[in-house]
Amino acid sequence: MEMQQIRYFLAVCDKGSFTRAAQATYVAQPSLTQAIKKLEEELGGELFSRDRSGCRLTALGRLVEPSIREIVRKTQALKAEAVRFSRLNTVPLRIGVMTTIAAHHLSPFFTNFQQERPHVELELIVDSECNLLNQLDEDGLDLVISAPTSLLAEHYQSLKLYEERYVVVFNDKHRFNQMQQIDLATIQAEPYLDRLNCELRETLRSVCQGRQVNLYAAYRSNSEEWILSMVRAGIGVALMPEFTITKNADQIRVRYLSDPEIRRTICAIFPPTSAAKPEVAEVLKSLRMSF
């Protein structure tokens, strides 16, 4: 199978006609037809059926089209990386970071890593875990740093980085500032700031139902920064991972949630194919040593 055959095949798919496909690819129609015929011989059957309006994919054509498009996508991505490497003399490393993971907790690691390995170009993508894992499956990312709440698919590997407990977050003038222990029952008396991106949101809801605790959501937001701003303003209290809050955060105080204790595990998630890349192996080794 040659790339020229693939290019002609996709042109016919997109244009719906051998004539229009030949015009779009700047080739004589007999040459395009011959290339498609050779591709059909290699794949063992007809890929298109013709009619008065043009042509359409056969069952075999529909079967192979997604894989052929994937070949083109990966080829283009490989060429782009090769060009960038040759121009910048750097190796791109694409890392997805789940939205709710604190940037300030991971930033020192990435700073040190890049200082020690100037040949690696870091690209950090911040998004929900679901979107990041989809990009990982499509080779859009090399690894993902996340806090999985369920078993990972078999084609993933993971490296545990650290654990963090959930804390009750309130402003420095709140009555909670005088308390050493705070549980869910105590929080339900306060306006609650609901974090829409919290990966343990459903778990927390289930725990509250089991204890007959009702956390009244005065406000909801998918932004950690907005939640913290509302805490500072005294609008309400929130439950957040402990490393989300910087040390000596202005106008903010925290206490560990005492009952129940809730914690999450932060992991690096990657497929074996990514781990085989030298630059990914380097970052995984550094992560093991740093956390």
60-118, pLDDT tens digit by residue?
Answer: 999 999 999 888 888 877 776 776 666 555 667 899 999 999 888 899 999 898 888 88
136 and 226 within one domain: no
Distances (CA, A) of 52 to 46, 55, 62: 18, 8, 20
> What pLDDT is attached to residue 75?
84
> What pLDDT is attached to residue 114?
84
Whole-number Å distance between alpha carbons of 187 and 218: 12
210 and 175 within one domain: yes
Compute the average pLDDT of residues 261-279: 89
Out of 114-118, 221-225, 280-284, pick the least confident.
114-118
272 and 214 within one domain: no
109 and 194 within one domain: no
pLDDT at 256 over 90: yes
pLDDT at 11 over 60: yes
> What pLDDT is attached to residue 193?
95
Among residues 91, 92, 110, 156, the alpha carbon closest in space to that of 291 is found at 110
> What pLDDT is attached to residue 93?
86
Compute the average pLDDT of residues 209-217: 88
* Domain's final residue, options 40, 67, 85: 85
DSSP, residue by residue, 81-92: HHHHHHHH--EE
> What pLDDT is attached to residue 230?
94
Alpha helices in the chain (DSSP H): 3-15, 18-24, 29-43, 59-88, 103-116, 129-137, 184-187, 201-210, 224-232, 272-275, 278-290
> What pLDDT is attached to residue 175?
95
CATH code of the domain containing 122: 3.40.190.10
Give the chain's mean pLDDT.
88
Which residue range is the domain that position 254 belongs to? 163-264
- Positive or negative: CA dihedral 6, 11, 16, 17: negative
> What pLDDT is attached to residue 170?
96
102 and 70 within one domain: no
136 and 79 within one domain: no
> What pLDDT is attached to residue 83?
64
CATH code of the domain containing 260: 3.40.190.290
Give percent of the chain with pLDDT exceeding 70.
96
Confidence of residue 206 (pLDDT cuts 50, 70, 90): confident
106 and 58 within one domain: no
> What pLDDT is attached to residue 205?
86
Whole-number Å distance between alpha carbons of 104 and 199: 19
Whole-number Å distance between alpha carbons of 37 and 34: 5
Q: Which is more confidently placed, 74 or 162?
A: 162
Q: Tell me how many domains the chain contains.
A: 3
273 and 157 within one domain: yes
> What pLDDT is attached to residue 221?
92
> What pLDDT is attached to residue 86?
61
169 and 31 within one domain: no
How many CB atoms neighbour CB 36 within 10 A? 21
Please list, residue by residue across 45-80, b when 16 or more beta carbons sit within 10 angstroms of its beta carbon and e when fewer do. Answer: eebbeeeeeebebeeebeebeeebeeeeeeeeeeee
195 and 155 within one domain: no
178 and 41 within one domain: no
64 and 106 within one domain: no
Question: Which residues lie below 8 Å from residue 200, measured CB to CB, with a gap of 6+?
Answer: 149, 166, 262, 264
Phi, psi of 192 (to 5 degrees): -105, 135
Compute the average pLDDT of residues 146-172: 90
Whole-number Å distance between alpha carbons of 239 and 228: 10
Compute the average pLDDT of residues 164-173: 95
> What pLDDT is attached to residue 232?
94
pLDDT at 122 over 80: yes
Among residues 116, 143, 159, 132, the alpha carbon closest in space to that of 277 is found at 143
CATH code of the domain containing 22: 1.10.10.10
* Domain's final residue, options 40, 69, 85: 85
